[in-house]
Amino acid sequence: MRYDKKRTIFYNVLFIVFCAALFLFLWNAPPETTKKLPQDKIHQRFQNMGKKAAEQFCEKCHNPKGEVPLPKKHPPKYRCLLCHKQTRK
Ligand code: HEC
Ligand code: HEC
Whole-number mean pLDDT of the chain?
89
Ligand 2, from 43, 61, 80: best to mutate by most atoms within 8 Å of Cβ?
A: 80
pLDDT, tens only, 50-78: 999 999 999 999 999 988 999 999 999 99
pTM greater than the 0.75 cutoff: yes
Closest residue CA from atom 2 of ligand 1: 61
Ligand 1, from 43, 49, 63, 65: best to mutate by most atoms within 8 Å of Cβ?
A: 43
Residue 58 CB coordination number (10 Å): 20
Cα of 27 from ligand 1 centre, angstroms: 24
> What's the rounded Cα separation, in Å, for the pair 69 and 67?
6
Q: What's residue 31's pLDDT?
A: 55
25 against 12, higher pLDDT: 12
Measuring CA to CA, which residue among 88, 79, 86, 89 is closest to residue 36? Answer: 86
pLDDT, tens only, 30-54: 556 788 999 999 999 999 999 999 9
> What's the rounded Cα separation, in Å, for the pair 83 and 66?
21
Q: What's residue 82's pLDDT?
A: 92
Distances (CA, A) of 3 to 6, 9, 11, 12, 14: 5, 10, 13, 14, 16
